[in-house]
Amino acid sequence: GAVVSQHPSRVICKSGTSVKIECRSLDFQATTMFWYRQFPKQSLMLMATSNEGSKATYEQGVEKDKFLINHASLTLSTLTVTSAHPEDSSFYICSARDWGTGGQPQHFGDGTRLSIL
C-alpha cells in the first residue's frame, strides 16, 4: 500500500535553531501534500497545503516566514521551522494525496515530535 515516510521522527534542539522535516511519498507521486501540527492533547490543525512546483498555501494564522515549505519534487515536501522557540514544540505530521487512487484517502506520515529547549 501507499506509504509516506516522514523524517526525523523526533528532534530535540536548542532555541533559535532551524529544523527541517522531510515528507516523502515512497511509491506514488504526490502533487499535493499537507502539513499539520498537533499540540499535546489537542487535535490536528492544518498548517499549509504544499503544491509541487508552486508556493504553499498557508492557513490563517500560520506564519509563512517561520514555517518554510518547499515541494520541489513529486515525492518530497519539506517543512523548515526557522529560529524555533519552545512554543514551536509540537507534533508535526504530513499527508500526501495519491492521484492514482483519486486522491483519497490521504496517506499520513508517522509524524515528527519536535522539542525546543
Partner 1 sequence: AQKVTQAQTEISVVEKEDVTLDCVYETRDTTYYLFWYKQPPSGELVFLIRRNSFDEQNEISGRYSWNFQKSTSSFNFTITASQVVDSAVYFCALSESRDDKIIFGKGTRLHILP
> Which one among 26, 110, 115, 117 touches partner 1, defined by CB under 8 A?
110
Nearest residue (CB) to partner 1, 20 versus 113: 113
> Which one among 34, 35, 58, 67 touches partner 1, defined by CB under 8 A?
34
Site membership for partner 1, residue 26 (CB under 8 A): no
Which helix (H) or strand (E) segment holds residue 31: the answer is none
The DSSP-derived string for 61-116 is T--TTTEEEEEEETTEEEEEETT--GGG-EEEEEEE--GGGTT-S-EE---EEEEE
Report DSSP state, residue 14. -
Q: Is 61 left (phi over 0), alpha (psi -120 to 50) or beta?
A: left
Q: Which stretch binds partner 1 (CB under 8 A): 15-23, 61-69, 72-80, 91-99?
A: 91-99
Instruction: In angstroms, give the least distance from the CB of 106 to partner 1.
Output: 6
Site membership for partner 1, residue 27 (CB under 8 A): no
Q: Which residues bind partner 1 (CB under 8 A)?
A: 32, 34, 41-46, 49, 91, 93, 95, 97, 103-108, 110-111, 113
